[in-house]
Amino acid sequence: MVYREGIRDLGRARAQFESALKLNEVHIPSMQALGDIYLEQEEWEKFIETSEKFVRIIPPEKLPELIPTFFKMGEVYRDHLKNTERAIISYQQVIKQEPDNERARGELAALYVSDPKFIDQAKAENLNLIRLQPFRAQSYRDLANIYKSQRNLDAQFWLYGLLKNFGDLDLEEEMFLEANAGKAQKTSKRTLKEIEREGMLVHPDEKGPLRELLLAAGDFLEKVFPPQLEKLGVKKTYRVSEKTPNAAMNLAIEILTNLGYEGDFEIYSPPQLAEPAVVNSPPAIVISPDYLARFTVPEQRFIMGRLVAHFIERHAVALQFPTDQVIFHLALLAMAADEKLRLRVPYPEAEAAQRLKAMKKVINRKNKVQIEHAAERLTQEMVDTDPTAWRRAMEHTGNRAGLLVCGDLFAAISALMKTDPRFKGVKLDNLADPQSAWPKNELVVEMLAYSVSDPFFRLRERAGFSITSA
C-alpha cells in the first residue's frame, strides 16, 4: 500500500498486489486494490479480466464483499467498453446480493431505458424502484417516456398527473394534461371479463389453490366460521332491498357490473357502524350510509370498490377470522376432497379428524369439481405460507379494485390513509406534508407501483375508465 498511497508508484504497487494474489488468489483487499490501480491506469480490459476471474473463484459466501467491484465493473462496461449487456449483468450481481440496493436498481433502470429491446425490463425495474422509493420522480419520468413512445395516451396522461404532483412537468406535458383532462372517465358501464379480473386485478401473492378453495367454499363455512352479522350488531332488517335501493346499493351494483360479477348480492346498511365489512353466511357487504358520507365521491368509489372486490373474492372469512386457521381448514377441505392427500395441520389427531369430517360437509354438487381441482395442486409449502402475507395480498387486491373504479390515485391514497388505524384521529389534510406518510404504509406503496403498471392501464381501457374509452 506504501507504493500506491505513499510515494504514488503505481507500477511497483501493481507488482506488489499481483504477487500477493499469487500467494492467496482469493484475497479480496489485494484484488480490489489491484483493480483500482488498473482503473487509474485506464487499463479497462485488464481490470475486467482480473475482476471476472476473481468472481469465478471466490467462495459464494464472500460475494457480498465484492459489491463495490461489481459497481466498478458495470461502470467500465457501460462507459468505456460500451457493452450494455455486460454492464447489466454486473449490476444484476449486486441485486443478487442486495435485492433492495437502490443505486444498483437505478443503474439497471437507466441501462434498460437506453435500449429499446429492454423495454419490459425497464418498466419492471422502475416499478421495483418505486416500491423502494415512492418519490423517485425519475422512475415516473422514465415510465412516461416509455408509454409515450408506445403511443399509450392514457398511461401517458396518468403519469403526467403524477409528475405534476411531484412538480416535475414541463410546458408541453402540462398542455397535454390539460387538453385531455376532460376525457377522463369517472364512471363506466363496461364490464370486465372474469379472466381479465383474475389475470390483472388479483394480486399474484393471493393466487393459487388456496384462493381457489376459498372461492369454492367461502359461502359454506358457517359451521366452522360462524356468521358475523350478529356479532357486528347488524339486524336482518337492515338489508337493503333492490326495489328501494339507497346510494350505497346503487354504487355497489355499478361497481359489481364494472368488475364482472353476475351472482347474488346482499348489502346491509345499519344506521351506525364504525367500519364497513364483508361478511360470510350470507355473503354480503355491510356499510353505514353515515360512514360513506364522510368521504368525497372519489373516495367513496375507492372504498366501495375495495369492499366489492373482497365480496367477489370471498375474502370475508380470511379477513374476519385468524387467517392461519382459515388456511388450515382449507387444507382439511382439500384432504376431504382427495383422500390420498396428506397435509400437516396443527391439530391433535382426534380434533383433526373431527374438523376433517366437518369440512367434508362443505363439499356439494356446486363446488365439488372446483375443490377437487384445487386439491390436486395444493402442497404442504402452500399450507405453510405466511398467513399475514396472504391476507395482505387480499388487501392489495381490494385496493387495486378500488383504485380502478375510483380513477383518481390521490383520492384512493387519501381514502386508504384515512382508513389506516395508525392514522386514526389524524387529519391528514392538516399535515404540512401529507405525502410524507405514504412510505410508512405498505398498502399505499404497493398501490402506487400498481397504478403505473401495464395490467392497470389495460384494465382502465377494458373497464372503460381510460381517456380513450369515451
Cα within 13 Å of Cα(429), Cβ side: 5
Alpha-carbon distance 61 to 65, whole Å?
9
Q: pLDDT of 367-391, one tens digit each?
A: 999 999 999 999 999 999 999 999 9
- The two counts, helices (H) then strands (E), for the chain are 24, 3
Which domains, and CATH codes, for the chain?
2-145 (1.25.40.10), 194-319+388-434 (no CATH)
Which pLDDT belongs to residue 338? 95
User: Residue length, the chain?
Assistant: 470
Dihedral sign of CA atoms 151, 153, 158, 159 in order = positive
- Please say if the pLDDT value at position 41 is more than 90: no
Query: What are the residues whose beta carbons fall under 8 Å from the beta carbon of 262, sequence distance 6 or more?
Result: none
Q: Which three cell numbers, joined as nine digits, stand for 16? A: 506488489
pTM score: 0.89
More reliable by pLDDT, 280 or 90: 90
Start-end of H helices in 182-288: 194-200, 209-217, 247-258
Residues 10/39, Cβ–Cβ less than 8 Å: no
Of residues 48, 34, 28, the one with CA closest to residue 1: 34
Alpha-carbon distance 273 to 421, whole Å?
16
24 pLDDT band, cuts 50/70/90, is low
Q: pLDDT of 393-445, one tens digit each?
A: 999 999 999 999 999 999 999 999 888 777 666 555 555 566 766 767 899 99
**How many Cβ atoms from other residues are within 10 Å of residue 99's Cβ?**
11
Q: Which amino acid is at 37?
A: I
Residues 109/122, Cβ–Cβ less than 8 Å: yes
Using the structure block, give the residue that is written with the C-alpha cell 345499519: 270
Left, alpha or beta for 277 (phi > 0: left; psi -120 to 50: alpha)?
beta
